[in-house]
Amino acid sequence: MRKTLTTLHHMVRDGEKIVALTCYDASFAKLLEEAGVDILLVGDSLGMVLQGRESTLPVTLEQMVYHVECVARGSTQAFIVADMPFGSYQDNPQQAFRNASQLLRAGAHMVKLEGGQAMLETTHFLVERGVPVFGHLGLTPQSVHQLGGYRVQGKAEADAQQLQQDAVDLCAAGASLMLLECIPAALAHAVTKAISAPTIGIGAGPDCSGQVLVLYDLLGIYAGKAPKFAKNFMQGATSIQQAVEHYVADVKGQRFPGPEHSF
C-alpha cells in the first residue's frame, strides 16, 4: 500500500524512524522501496551526482519533471517528494503553485522548498491549494553562494534561534515535514521537540524523526572526500539491495547516524 503523509505522521507517533533516500530513476525507485525506504526524494542533488554540475543551481523544472516521472513509474509504495529547483518558486506564490502543480502531475506527492521567513507566504499559498510542503532549513544548497560554501549552519546562538523560529513559523504556515541539513545535533533535537511536523535530518544528528542521505553517498560514489554525515553502506554489503537494507535497518534501529556523522 502507498505510504502517505498520514502514514509518516503515524510512524512518528509510534516511535518509528522515517527512512528517506534520494532517487532519480525507476529502477532505483523499485529497489529502494523494496528495501524498506519510506520516502523517495527526487532531489535537485541530481544536478551534482547525475549531471556533474558544481551546485544544484542549474537544474531546471523540466529536468525535475522528467526525473519525477521516472521515479513515479518505478514506485508503488513509497511517498514521493520532489525538490522545486532554484528559480522555480522564489518569485511569488503564484509562480510556485504553477510549477509545483507540474511536479505533482508528474507523480510527486509533495514538494520541497528551501528557506525560512521568505517562504512563509508561499508555503501557506501552496498548502491552501492542496500542495503539501516540505520545508528545508539549515544548509540550503540553492543559497550556496550566499552562505559562502557548504558549511554547518546554526552554530551561533542567534542563528540557532532564528532557525528554530523559521521551523515553527513554516509549520504554522502549513509545512508538514521539515528537512534539517547540516546543523548541530542539539539544535535539531530542539527543533524536533518544538514543532509538530516530523523532521528529516541529514548531518543533523540522531534525534530527528527520520533521516535522509543522497543515494550516491550511501553507495560510496563521491568525488574526493566523503561528507562527514555520509556513510558508505556498500562496505560489508554484497549487493546494492543489501546496502540499502542495512541503511534502513540502521536508521530504524537508531544506529545511524552516530556521533561521528553529527556536528
Positions that interact with ligand KIV (CB under 6 A): 22, 41, 43-45, 83, 181, 202, 212, 214
What DSSP character marks residue 204? S
- CA dist 151 and 56 (Å) reads 15
Nearer to ligand KIV, 45 or 123 (CB): 45
Nearest to 212 by CA among 188, 196, 242, 238: 188
C-alpha cell at 203: 548531518
Could you tell me the three cell numbers for 258?
552516530
Grid coordinates representing 158 are 542567534
Label residue 45 left, alpha or beta by phi (over 0 means left) and psi (-120 to 50 means alpha): alpha
Beta 210-213 vs 199-202: how paired, if at all?
parallel
Three-class DSSP category at 33:
helix
By Cβ distance, which residue is nearest to ligand KIV? 43
Query: Closer to ligand KIV at the Cβ: 51 or 239?
Result: 51
Residue 45 or 199: the one with the smaller Cβ distance to ligand KIV is 45
Least distance between ligand KIV and beta carbon 56 (Å) = 6
Q: In this structure, is the dihedral angle defined by the CA atoms of residues 100, 29, 67 and 85, taken in order, positive or negative?
A: positive
Between helix 26-34 and helix 240-252 the angle, nearest 10°, is 50
Q: How far is the CB of 134 from ligand KIV (least distance, A)?
A: 9
Pick from 28, 4, 8: which is nearest to 18 by CA? 8
What are the catalytic residues?
Answer: 181
| Cα distance between residue 188 and residue 190, in whole Å | 5
Least separation in angstroms between residue 22's CB and ligand KIV is 4
Q: Which is nearer to ligand KIV, 97 or 229 (CB)?
A: 229
* 181 vs 207 by CB, closer to ligand KIV: 181
Coil, strand or helix at 80: strand
Q: By C-beta, is 94 or 226 nearer to ligand KIV?
A: 226
How far, in whole angstroms, is CA 164 from its chain's centroid? Answer: 18
